[in-house]
Amino acid sequence: MVLQELGDKLTGALRRLQTTTVVNDDVLNDLLQDVCRALVESDVNIKVVATLRKGIKEKVNLADAPAGLNRRKMVQRAVMEELVRLVDSGTKPYQMKKGKSNVIMFVGLQGSGKTTTIAKYANYYQRKGWKTCMVCADTFRAGAFDQLKQNATKLRVPFYGSYTEADPVRIAEEGVQQFRSEGYEVIIVDTSGRHKQEEALFEEMKEIQAAVRPDNVVYVMDATQGQAVFDQAQGFHQAATVGSVIVTKLDGHAKGGGALSAVAATGAPIIFLGSGEHFDDLDVFNPGSFISRLLGLGDMRGFLEEVSSLGAREGGKERQEAMAQRLVKGQFTLRDMYEQFENVMKLGPLSKVMGMLPGFPSFLMGGGEGGRGGQDEAATGRLKRFLTMMDSMTDAELDGKVDLNKSESRVNRIARGSGAHPMEVQFLLKTYAQFSQMFKKMGPMMLKGGEGGIQR
Ligand code: GDP
């Protein structure tokens, strides 16, 4: 989770609100003080924090609140809404179109993490079944093509570039043309960076832009500079009509809040966050979901959207929508759990997905040697074992038409059929009970966009 420290402080402040007996102006002022202090400590601009404070105060009028109104909820909702506004640019980012060539041009200063981010971005789309490729039009930095080539080879993504051609515009044009004619859906163009914003960089960007006519220009920006990025982001936004921003190096960086709110203030939407050096360390960014996760509420909506976008299976999207409808009504069957486990494994490393599901039983994670990779492997193994047991269940059992907790013979039959011990089946049922409880409690609330409360 990025911005863990800020998240902990905000959650702490809101939790204190839960424990007070009366919600009055003093309590509200204390809460505002805690929230504002946490934001300033995360390097959010002091004026921006003052606006947020004002926005909350305007929304919450405790003196005139009608009797019977849940004041605690009113305060929580106002805080949540204003936090979302803080990181929301108010602009919709480009939507990738399936079955068409989407040309995505990457720009940014040297060292911002552009090349690494391109690899993560390619990995993200390729994993979801998009035909993805890369073009290296960075002829400025020695070794840029080699770095891109190495990443592309690791990811098994086709690439285009040249060791001899010095004209980046020509390479970009030829590469994009070739991949377009071959029907590639996500064509990523890497461009040169410079150490600082300068005319030559902006000129080159404009020429490449004119030559390849990108559908989206993505600006990659380093979060470690905090709110100082505002001028930079604005400069790029104006020079290259930047369509979206990816903020990198947010992992464990205390100034991240400053960077995110500064970018949002330029009006360019943030689409992803870089949270580490591995190809998987890329988190989809959506203001509402981000704040929800920051406050430890998980992101059921984002999770379901991610899962539906996999499109890996026939009718997958429709099934997810049907499940979302059932969740709103508080229904969750063993078959739903089966499908979620299958999807979770397709989404990428389990440790990433967990942040979206706050109630995901922690015993499913953990264990396994070798750090996060080992843990992911151990957890995947556990999920696979669950799937095998559920494969031995009948339709009626999966659809919740019989109560397995009341039938030892059914449990024994499932165990025999899947080569498991009956205790393992019991453990699966216990996990299901936990999941089901979490979905029933959180599902409807989260699907409505986190409305209604911060309560845990
Ligand atoms: P470029 O010059 O903009 O292409 O930057 P690179 O992609 O070569 O990245 C510069 C350095 O930042 C490398 O050491 C990367 O591993 C590192 N880096 C990139 N993104 C992230 C991130 O999200 N988190 C962390 N911790 N490091 C990153």
- The Å distance, Cα 310 to ligand 1 centre, comes to 27
Atom of ligand 1 nearest to the CA of 138: 4
Are residues 180 and 166 part of one domain? yes
Does any domain span residue 96? no
Tokens linked to 379: 């957890």
Largest Cα separation within the chain, whole Å, is 76
Are residues 419 and 321 part of one domain? yes
Q: Under a CB-based contact definition with an 8 Å cutoff, are residues 414 and 425 in contact?
A: yes
| Residue 344 to residue 340: CA distance in whole angstroms | 6
Percentage of the chain with pLDDT > 90? 42
**Which domain-ending residue is among 38, 61, 86?**
86
- The Å distance, Cα 150 to ligand 1 centre, comes to 15
pLDDT of residue 344: 74
Atom of ligand 1 nearest to the CA of 248: 23
Who wins on pLDDT, 370 or 131? 131
Burial tier of 379 (Cβ tally within 10 Å: 0-12, 13-18, 19+): buried
Q: Under a CB-based contact definition with an 8 Å cutoff, are residues 301 and 295 in contact?
A: no
- DSSP-assigned letter for residue 406: G
Q: pLDDT band at residue 456, thresholds of 50, 70 and 90?
A: very low
**Which domain-ending residue is among 294, 328, 343?**
294
Does any domain span residue 93? no
Does any domain span residue 91? no
Q: Whose CA is nearest to atom 13 of ligand 1?
A: 113
Q: How much is the pTM?
A: 0.76
Assign 244 to helix, strand or coil: strand
Are residues 138 and 31 part of one domain? no
Q: Under a CB-based contact definition with an 8 Å cutoff, are residues 195 and 109 in contact?
A: yes
Are residues 305 and 285 part of one domain? no
Identify which of 2, 106, 116, 270 to mutate to test ligand 1's pocket (most ligand atoms within 8 A of the CB).
116
Q: Under a CB-based contact definition with an 8 Å cutoff, are residues 105 and 209 in contact?
A: yes
Assign 246 to helix, strand or coil: strand
Are residues 258 and 128 part of one domain? yes
Does any domain span residue 379? yes
Does any domain span residue 140? yes
Are residues 344 and 325 part of one domain? yes
- The Å distance, Cα 51 to ligand 1 centre, comes to 33
* H helices, E strands: number in the chain: 19, 8
396 is in which domain, residue-wise? Answer: 300-447
Q: Under a CB-based contact definition with an 8 Å cutoff, are residues 361 and 341 in contact?
A: no
CATH number reported for the structural domain that contains residue 359 in this entry: 1.10.260.30
Are residues 111 and 82 part of one domain? no
Assign 326 to helix, strand or coil: helix
Q: Under a CB-based contact definition with an 8 Å cutoff, are residues 232 and 112 in contact?
A: no
**Which domain-ending residue is among 234, 265, 294?**
294
Atom of ligand 1 nearest to the CA of 111: 2
Are residues 308 and 288 part of one domain? no
Are residues 112 and 81 part of one domain? no
| Residue 177 to residue 249: CA distance in whole angstroms | 33
Query: pLDDT tens, 235-250?
Result: 887 776 788 999 999 9
Query: pLDDT tens, 262-281?
Result: 888 888 899 999 999 999 89
Are residues 354 and 256 part of one domain? no
Who wins on pLDDT, 114 or 380? 114
Structural domain tally of the chain?
A: 3
Reply yes or no on whether the pLDDT at 453 is more than 60.
no
| Count of beta carbons in the 10 Å neighbourhood of residue 329 | 10
Does any domain span residue 95? no
Are residues 78 and 21 part of one domain? yes
- The Å distance, Cα 385 to ligand 1 centre, comes to 37
Does any domain span residue 237? yes
Strand order in the sheet with 216-222: 159-160, 132-137, 186-191, 102-108, 216-222, 244-248, 270-274, 282-284
Are residues 325 and 193 part of one domain? no
Q: Quickly list DSSP for 278-303.
A: STT-EEE--HHHHHHHHTT---HHHH
Which residues lie with the beta carbon below 6 Å from any ligand 1 atom? 108, 110-116, 193, 248-249, 251, 274-277, 281
pLDDT of residue 372: 60
Does any domain span residue 97? no
CATH number reported for the structural domain that contains residue 226 in this entry: 3.40.50.300
